[in-house]
Amino acid sequence: MSNIAGADTLSLEGPNGESQAVPFGGRLRVDHGLAAREAYLAGRGIGPAHLWLVDDLLSDGQLETILPDYAPPPVPLNMLIVPERANITRVRLMVEFLAEAVADIPGIERTTTPIRI
């Protein structure tokens, strides 16, 4: 990804929780996850991808995992809410709905951190 600092290093977490970092580069750089997804699908090479982005392609056999015991480090998913609106019922209901819906997306793991409104 051309718009992410440190994208020239591939960081992966192994099966025992160990971290590995290796130089990683290539001729094709994109600045959007969907562009990377399309490049993988077109056979343009290898690269890291979060499960939520490519789960359907893996399930259909269109992509193949080459390091199944390794994964990119988790990335937090945050929702920003204007503090003055946090106690509005429709806002709270939307936050709760989205938190439940996101939990069903492949590769998204809910932590024990409570939702703070």
According to the model, what pLDDT value does residue 48 have? 84
Q: The pTM is what?
A: 0.69
According to the model, what pLDDT value does residue 35 have? 92
For residue 81, name the pLDDT band (cuts at 50, 70, 90).
confident
Q: How far apart are CA 26 and CA 29, in angstroms?
A: 7
Q: Dmax over Cα atoms in the chain, in whole Å?
A: 50
Task: Check whether 104 has a pLDDT greater than 70.
Answer: yes
Inter-CA distances, 43 with 38, 39, 57, Å: 9, 6, 12
